[in-house]
Amino acid sequence: MTANGKPYVLVVEDDAPVRNLITTTLESQNYKYMTSANGNQAVMSAASGNPDIILMDLGLPDMDGVDVIKKIRTWSVAPIIVISARSDDKDKVDALDAGADDYLTKPFSVEELLARLRSTLRRIQYLTQKGEEEPSVFHNGSLTIDYGAGTVYVGEQEIHLMPLEYSLLCLLAQNVGKVLTYQFILDKVWVNAIESDMSSLRVYMASLRKKIEKNSSQPQCIQTHIGIGYRMVRLN
């Protein structure tokens, strides 16, 4: 985070006019940024620059943006907002499954881009604040969340979660035993949720369960209350 409280943004976009539009928009709001025009540059910039947020095009000249996301996700949890002309649901799901946190379809408005950035920034600040307020370690059965380190374990094995998966898990843990409605979760984790984010919530919840449940088809830790929401069950 920069001195003015704004996140440091990595812009990954090979189309110069679009890249210039994005960077001009960032400059107008006093965001600091760096740019990459291809996938290899993006991976190197993400590693060396340690950005707070990454804006990622998918149609890059040297590799697919989804593959870039997968590479970055092997070591970084920085929120990734995809900005792409690909509008099919499959493309969105592929990007989200790879580790993206949000998806903005081209053509996009400057106002929507800024709103997505503000939403992501609020989510970062919310998680930071919660991490300071809550006990440093949460235990539930074999599940352990170390808020201070931002790590999750099932038994002795560390589980690597995407930022939104981690946000979901922390929200459920902080309300263990309570049924959280779909809308409550969307408001807390997505912040400015829209109707289409419901499908994203289901995708992320399914992915989270695969990682922390012994049998994701018969979950014991995170239960679905059909038509209402989700609940983390107290296991110990």
pLDDT, tens digit, 9 for 90 and up, residues 169-209: 999 998 889 999 988 888 888 755 565 578 888 888 999 99
Q: What is the pLDDT of residues 222-234, one digit of tens each?
A: 999 998 999 999 9
Count CA within 13 A, CB hemisphere, residue 81: 26
Residue 140 has a pLDDT of 93
Strand intervals (E) in 73-136: 80-84, 102-105
Are residues 181 and 228 in contact, defined by beta-carbon separation less than 8 angstroms? yes
pLDDT-derived band at 216 (thresholds 50, 70, 90) equals confident
- Give the count of beta carbons closer than 10 Å to the beta carbon of residue 5: 9
List, in sequence order, every residue forming a beta bridge with 120; answer none if it has no partner: none
The DSSP symbol for 143 reads E
How many helices, marked H, and strands, marked E, lie in the chain? 8, 12
Tell me what pLDDT residue 17 has.
94
**Residue 120 has what pLDDT?**
84
DSSP state of 144: E
Domains of the chain, earliest start first: 8-125 (3.40.50.2300), 135-232 (1.10.10.10)
